[in-house]
Amino acid sequence: MTVATPLLDRASTPADLRKLEKSELQQLCDELRTEVIDAVSTTGGHLGSGLGVVELTAAIHYTFDTPRDRLIFDVGHQCYPHKVLTGRRDRIRTLRQKDGLSGFTKRAESEYDPFGAAHAATSISAALGMAVARDLKGEADKEAPEQDDRRVIAVIGDGSMSAGMAYEALNNAGDRASQLTVILNDNDMSIAPPVGAMSAYLARAASSGSYQGFRNLAKQLTKNLPKRIKNLAAKAEEYGRGMVTGGTLFEELGFYYVGPIDGHNLDHLLPVLENVKNITDGPVLVHVVTEKGRGYKMAKDKGDKLHAVSKFDVISGEEVAKKSNAPSYTGVFAEQLINDAKRDEKIVGITAAMPSGTGMDKFMKAFPDRTFDVGIAEQHAVTFAAGLAAEGIVPFCALYSTFLQRAYDSVVHDVALQNLPVRFAMDRAGLVGNDGATHAGAFDTAYLGCLPNMVLMAAGDEAELQAMVHTAALYDEHPIGFRFPRGEGLGVDLYEADKVPELEIGKGRILKEGSTVALLSFGGRLGETLKAADLLAQRGLSATVADARFAKPLDEDLIRRLAKEHEVLLCVEEGSIGGFGSFVLEFLVRDGLLDQGQLKVRTMHLPDVYQDQASPKEMYEEAKLQAEDIARQAMIALGQQELAADVTA
């Protein structure tokens, strides 16, 4: 008996996919869904979102001429099916691993990824830019009409539609009237009327050539009528359709709305996309309703938990990654904030669509009326917090460091300039492992430290994080931020709930006294700095280890003492150039501590590159911020190159 070749083996590229019969596509999608589940169980990654767009992804590649037609996924965490279908199936089990496939779309990885993404709400802006570029090229080269029929498609989820940038792009695209297709993947908002045979029929009818022809004829017939009557006719058509299908908001923004469509029914999806491909008169928005985690019961039942996962058992859905006995920094932050909120009823928590990632889900359970999830809207989150602070509330704005970048103007203008005591809890500071460069918290010390009025702290261990949360809760003179890394703490003893200390602003601490080398750590490399001191001691070199705690204000007395009493001062941080080490150097110069030329100063920070994904250990080894790297740098500064060459942890 001959065994049929799996369809996925026959459709390794979109060109091959388009050779299949339409009747074969559902089987292909079933195989694709199984492939994604198996791959993510091996590597970890984003699961539910990708399973929800299997049929949609296959339908887009089947209908449109990718990569010539540009397909842009917003955020990109739903792109695993896309990667399997675009020649990367043989590498799909390298997802998020060192030298493997990125967990997001990435321009350097494939011609099928025309735009890289990992932060939300960028797709429509990028797609409009590409559409306008197509139009400009076509106008510039009249002998290259093939430029004119290139399609640009942006796939954006309902979550990303909570970000203001998406609406800015929609507004601009509607005004430009360039041909552009936006597919709204609605898997949670429930903004759609019931999806079924009638809505599918209406979507096909509204996108069909015959309806478009009738619509264009009506435009021609009304062209010479008075403007008032012509506008009334257009509004009547728009609202008549909007009353039946929805989408009036998008029509008002200048888009032709089609939908809602069942995103898992290929008999509905394919004809609509085929019709939409042939609409050349302005931008179109196709509203597709999907189910997150489709086809895998564990993903659907566990919801947000299987949005992003570690390695897991396919049968049970349980993660199999080895757990540390030390608590996570995120968990410590949440528990301490809850403890402080019990004491002070003015404390509130704010998150931007990341309640579980920031620990705000725990705070939300304890204080549902004092927790605000504003959606993917970091700029709004920060200014909202500023408004709360202006009225005497104590807001904790909990964001990943990488996402706070999106709200920088709000931090500058609405918080720091007005000196409002907003508390910034910056999770995922430093390198984040498998999420790679897009999620690394590399820049916050540099971009916040240059702002007047700002106070900046970094936790060297989980007990220090407790103290910093408590300190921020009590401090109301200036805006204050504290950064902490991803993952588990060092395993130090935590403070009892009623014995957490309030830190003196701008004061560090000495953990180990020495005489030759001063190791000054800021943040999450403190554990490696202590190990480096032990490596130096094994080689007869006495080292002081200090935890700076604050990048702004600096503990100038501490730094002055370290500079005067040691031959080498080594600053260690897990941030970019221009951060803590730069602040220390500027102080040393200003204070005249380098004038005699006797002190040897070195700074160790993240390299001036965007580091690709790998395990955290591999990334820090690449960054040369491990204990042996710190010890080696100290020995080199002392002129002991030969001794340094033999350093191993």
77 labelled binding-site residue? yes
The one catalytic residue in 88, 406, 525, 552 is 406
Upstream peptide bond of 607 is cis (omega within 30 degrees of 0): no
| C-alpha to C-alpha distance for 278 and 265, rounded to whole angstroms | 21
In order, the DSSP letters of 50-85 are HHHTHHHHHHHHHHS-TTTSEEEESSSTT-HHHHII
- One-letter amino acid of 204: R
Strand partners, 550: 457
| Nearest one of 603, 551, 558 to 580, comparing CA atoms | 551
The residues, ordered by sequence, that sit 6+ positions from 292 with a Cβ below 8 Å of its Cβ are 48, 49, 51, 52, 187, 188, 299, 300, 303, 307
Token pair 């500027």 is found at 586
Is residue 277 flagged as an active site residue?
Answer: no
Q: Which two tokens stand for residue 284?
A: 């179109």
Confirm or deny that 82 is annotated as ligand binding.
no
Q: Give the C-alpha separation, 389 to 344, whole Å.
A: 14
CB of 366 within 8 A of CB of 341? yes
Burial 276-302, CB ≥16 within 10 A → b, else e: bbebeeebbbbbbbbbbbbbbebbbeb
Rounded to whole angstroms, what are the CA distances from 226 to 230, 234, 254, 532?
6, 13, 21, 81
The residue among 524, 525, 482 whose CA lies nearest residue 505 is 482
Peptide bond into 553 cis (omega under 30): yes
SS (H, E, C) 320-358: CCCCCCCCEHHHHHHHHHHHHHHHCCCEEEEECCCHHHH
The answer to whether 125 is a known ligand-binding residue is no
Phi then psi dihedrals of residue 620, to 5 deg: -70, -30
CA distance 270 to 389: 51
Residue 207 is assigned to a ligand binding site: no
> Is 296 known to sit in a ligand binding site?
yes
Task: Tell me the C-alpha distance between 427 and 459, whole Å.
Answer: 11
Q: CA-CA distance, 395 to 386, in Å (whole number)?
A: 8
**Neighbour tally for 367: CB within 10 Å:** 17
318 given a catalytic annotation: no
Is 378 assigned a catalytic role?
A: yes
Question: Does residue 378 have a known ligand-binding role?
Answer: yes
* Region of 315 on the Ramachandran plot (φ > 0 left; ψ -120 to 50 alpha; else beta): alpha
Nearest to 606 by CA among 583, 574, 578: 574
Identified catalytic residue from 83, 277, 292, 423: 292
- Establish whether 118 is an annotated binding residue: yes
Instruction: Write down the catalytic residue from 35, 55, 378, 573.
Output: 378
* Secondary structure, 3-state, 393-410: CEEEEEEEHHHHHHHHHH
Tokens coding 339: 């403890």
Binding-site residue ranges for Mg(2+): 158, 187
Catalytic residues: 292, 378, 406
